């Protein structure tokens, strides 16, 4: 290991950049669908040695050392995001005649932008850097803060944060009920970077480091922390089996429609007929059709038309539901909005990506409009400037979707109030519930999504894992309907009760798990991660001052 560390520390120029790029790319193996958490050791141990290398020699003090550390961090981040997010390019192949030109920009450009956060994390770590164990806390402080910022600024993109190396494991993920995803980031960086210090120690007579006992080293402390997290998770999971809401029978419909067919208006009747026949499919003597379920659930943006303005389609749906079943479905919706440049009393039509509750006779009972939209997918930032160059968003909606006014819970007959999450709204920690999440706490979360844009790539697996982590954070069950999968029913501890795999057409019947007592994270969303940040930075500063 000492020889490998010296190669990294003493590397320079393009050799240094390639080492950083390759180490970052290897870290993507810690994310779904691979879930090989130890792979995160590769970029984080390399990070320690790269920043060590930025500090050598009197000419590498102060700003030059910070600049060199930031440069290494950019290359680590670029490799990590390039290997972990390449599948985003699939969305530009759905209508290749219109968007193929943008594929290299998305696949290569987005990782370049996200790597700036990693570069900033390396720079902050270098400011706090000191010999010995303190530099592990410095790195955890820098990268943990950078990942937190990445998840919040410019509408936020907390996708594949380092903490998901822990969050992808059901036992280890239970600690997120205290600290959330951003707390997992601090812990994951500290734990997986710690083995880099195995090369530390006074040099013995044979020229090799005289290492301290493992139990007294940062690696030993990291192992103890990991064991404590595992013990906490096992105890939490062993508290008892899932309990279920009485008299609620869910049926999730997963149509598995290709994205290039899903939004063609000429497919309107065929798509609705497919939904109706699949939803009424018999799966067992106890589930002979849609009317045997109390609640039927369809995925995001299910129709290539505006359902609320199509009485014939609502009537067909009402005939399927009868008097006993309620449908909860994704659907585009047209609303009206007053605008300052219009005449008094005039309004402009707005389009919303919505969840609608449909009851007896096809009557729409409740609606939620998606609040957190996807930039460039559902709307175009700086639209006035970009449209002048012929650039537009991916969805076929004039002017793009308009965000909903506020996050709220939805009600449906015979069902606890639930928190609606459309598509990637489910990846944002602390944003799943309306208000402060303490008053009028919902009974469960409902995530309707359409991952058909990304085919059979790691993307849908990563999306599913991040949505599941919200259950553990909030102590709420999650019901998920995805067009191509993964659809599932998940309990309040993140345990998968039942699921339909990616790329399968079918229906999923199941009971609704009950919520559990509100977690510490649910009551105090960012307190745990803030405490970890303060502890990390205090330890790093103490070590620096002491050195």
225 and 207 in a common domain: yes
| pLDDT at residue 340 greater than cutoff 50 | no
Task: Evaluate if pTM is beyond 0.85.
Answer: yes
Say if residue 260 is in the same domain as residue 234. Answer: no
φ, ψ for residue 392, nearest 5 deg: -140, 170
Which tokens is 347 given?
Answer: 């309004």
Whether 248 maps to a domain, the answer reads yes
Place of tokens 């598509």: 423
Give pLDDT, residue 202. Answer: 45
The string of pLDDT tens digits covering residues 156-210 is: 999 999 999 999 999 999 999 999 999 999 999 999 999 999 988 644 444 455 5
Residue 284 CB neighbour total at 10 angstroms: 8
Does residue 164 sit in the same domain as residue 283? no
Whether 27 and 173 share a structural domain? yes
What are the tokens at 36?
A: 């090989």
The Cα–Cα gap between 400 and 456 comes to: 26
User: Are 250 and 165 within one domain?
Assistant: no
Over range 288-304, report the average pLDDT: 90
User: In this structure, are residues 518 and 441 in contact, taking their beta carbons and an 8 Å threshold?
Assistant: yes
Write the CA distances from 532 to 97, 180, 189, 529, integer angstroms: 48, 11, 12, 5
- Is residue 495 exposed (0-12), middle (13-18) or buried (19+ Cβ within 10 Å)? middle
374 part of a folded domain:
yes
The secondary element (H helix, E strand) that includes residue 103 is helix 103-104
What is the distance between the alpha carbons of residues 254 and 263, in angstroms, rounded to a whole number? 16
Quick one: residue 11, left, alpha or beta (phi over 0 = left, psi -120 to 50 = alpha)? beta
- 344: pLDDT strictly greater than 50: yes
In a domain, 448, yes or no: yes
Q: Are residues 210 and 146 in the same domain?
A: yes
Which token pair is 175? 């600690």
Residue-wise pLDDT for 23-56, tens only, equals 999 999 999 999 999 999 999 999 999 999 986 6
300 tagged catalytic? yes
Judge whether 370 counts as a catalytic residue: yes
CATH number of the domain to which 471 belongs: 3.60.110.10
| Catalytic choice (249, 262, 370, 408) | 370
Any domain includes 388? no
Residue 258 in domain = yes
pLDDT at 442: 95
Peptide bond into 486 cis (omega under 30): yes
User: In angstroms, what CA-CA distances link 287 with 251, 284, 325, 337, 509?
Assistant: 9, 5, 13, 43, 8
* pLDDT-derived band at 265, boundaries 50, 70, 90: confident
Name the catalytic one among 300, 378, 431, 474: 300
Q: What is the CA radius of gyration of the chain?
A: 25
Domain match, 143 and 230 both: yes
Neighbour-count burial of 51, counting CB atoms closer than 10 A to its CB (0-12 exposed, 13-18 middle, 19+ buried): buried
Predicted confidence at residue 338, as pLDDT, reads 46
- State which residues form the domain around 155: 2-239+526-546
- Whether residue 66 is contained in a domain is answered as yes
My answer on whether 442 and 535 are in the same domain is: no
217 and 284 in a single domain? The answer is no
254: its two tokens: 């997963």
Q: Are strands 415-422 and 444-449 parallel, antiparallel or unpaired?
A: parallel
Q: Please indicate, yes or no, whether residues 128 and 275 belong to a single structural domain of this protein.
A: no
Lowest-confidence region among 2-6, 444-448, 487-491: 2-6
C-alpha distances (whole Å) from 471 to each of 111, 152, 154, 466 are 28, 20, 25, 9
SS3 content of the chain, % helix, strand, coil (to 5): 50, 15, 30
Percent of the chain whose pLDDT exceeds 70:
87
Question: Is 512 a residue whose pLDDT tops 90?
Answer: yes
Bigger pLDDT: 267 vs 166: 166
Overall domain count for the chain: 2
Domain assignment present for residue 100? The answer is yes
Q: Indicate which residue of 161, 408, 423, 474 is catalytic.
A: 423
Determine how β-strand 244-254 pairs with β-strand 295-297: parallel
Q: Do 205 and 275 have their domain in common?
A: no
Q: Does residue 316 lie within any of the structural domains? A: yes
> Has residue 229 got a pLDDT over 80?
yes
Q: Is 182 in the same domain as 272?
A: no
């Amino acid at each position: 290991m000492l020889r490998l560390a010296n190669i990294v520390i003493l590397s320079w120029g393009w050799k240094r950049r390639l080492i950083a790029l390759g180490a970052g790319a290897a870290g993507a193996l810690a994310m779904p669908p691979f879930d090989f958490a130890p792979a995160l050791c590769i970029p984080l141990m390399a990070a320690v040695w790269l920043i060590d290398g930025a500090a050598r020699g009197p000419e590498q003090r102060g700003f030059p050392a910070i600049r060199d550390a930031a440069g290494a961090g950019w290359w680590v981040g670029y490799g990590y995001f390039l290997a972990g997010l390449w599948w985003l390019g699939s969305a530009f192949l759905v209508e290749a005649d219109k968007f193929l030109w943008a594929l290299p920009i998305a696949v290569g450009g987005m990782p370049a932008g996200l790597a700036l956060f990693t570069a900033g994390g390396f720079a902050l770590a270098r400011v706090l850097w000191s010999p010995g164990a303190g530099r592990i806390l410095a790195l955890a402080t820098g990268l943990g803060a950078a990942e937190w910022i990445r998840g919040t600024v410019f509408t936020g993109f907390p996708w594949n944060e380092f903490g998901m190396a822990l969050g992808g494991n059901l036992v280890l993920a239970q600690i997120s009920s205290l600290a959330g995803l951003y707390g997992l980031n601090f812990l994951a960086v500290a734990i997986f970077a710690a083995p880099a210090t195995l090369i530390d120690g006074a040099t013995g007579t044979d020229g090799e480091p005289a290492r301290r006992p493992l139990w007294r080293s940062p690696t030993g402390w990291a192992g103890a922390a990991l064991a404590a997290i595992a013990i906490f998770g096992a105890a939490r999971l062993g508290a008892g089996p899932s309990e279920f809401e009485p008299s609620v029978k869910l049926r999730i419909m997963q149509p598995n429609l290709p994205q290039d067919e899903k939004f063609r208006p000429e497919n309107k009747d065929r798509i609705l007929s497919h939904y109706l026949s699949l939803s009424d499919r018999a799966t067992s003597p106890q589930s002979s059709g849609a009317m045997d379920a109390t609640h039927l659930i369809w995925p995001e943006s299910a129709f290539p038309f505006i359902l609320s303005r199509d009485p014939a389609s609502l009537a067909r749906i009402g005939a399927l539901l009868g008097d006993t079943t309620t449908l909860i479905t994704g659907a585009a919706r047209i609303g009206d909005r007053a605008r300052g440049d219009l005449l008094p009393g005039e309004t402009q039509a707005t389009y919303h990506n919505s969840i609608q509750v449909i009851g007896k006779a096809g009557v729409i009972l409740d609606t939620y409009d998606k609040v957190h939209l996807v930039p460039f997918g559902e709307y175009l930032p700086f639209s006035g400037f970009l449209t002048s160059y012929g650039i537009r968003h991916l969805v076929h909606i004039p002017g793009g979707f308009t965000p909903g006014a506020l996050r709220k819970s939805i009600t449906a007959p015979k069902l606890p109030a639930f928190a609606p999450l459309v598509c990637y709204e489910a990846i944002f920690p602390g944003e799943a519930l309306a208000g402060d999440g303490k008053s009028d706490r919902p009974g469960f979360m409902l995530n309707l999504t359409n991952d058909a844009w990304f085919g059979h790539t790691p993307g849908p697996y990563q999306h599913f894992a991040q949505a599941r982590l919200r259950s553990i954070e909030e102590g709420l069950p999650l019901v998920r309907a995805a067009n191509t999968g993964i659809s599932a029913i998940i309990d309040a501890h993140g345990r998968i009760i039942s699921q339909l795999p990616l790329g399968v057409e079918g229906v999923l019947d199941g009971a609704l798990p009950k919520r559990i007592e509100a977690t510490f994270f649910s009551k105090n969303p960012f307190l745990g991660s803030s405490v970890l940040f303060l502890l990390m930075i205090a330890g790093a500063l103490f070590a620096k001052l002491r050195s």
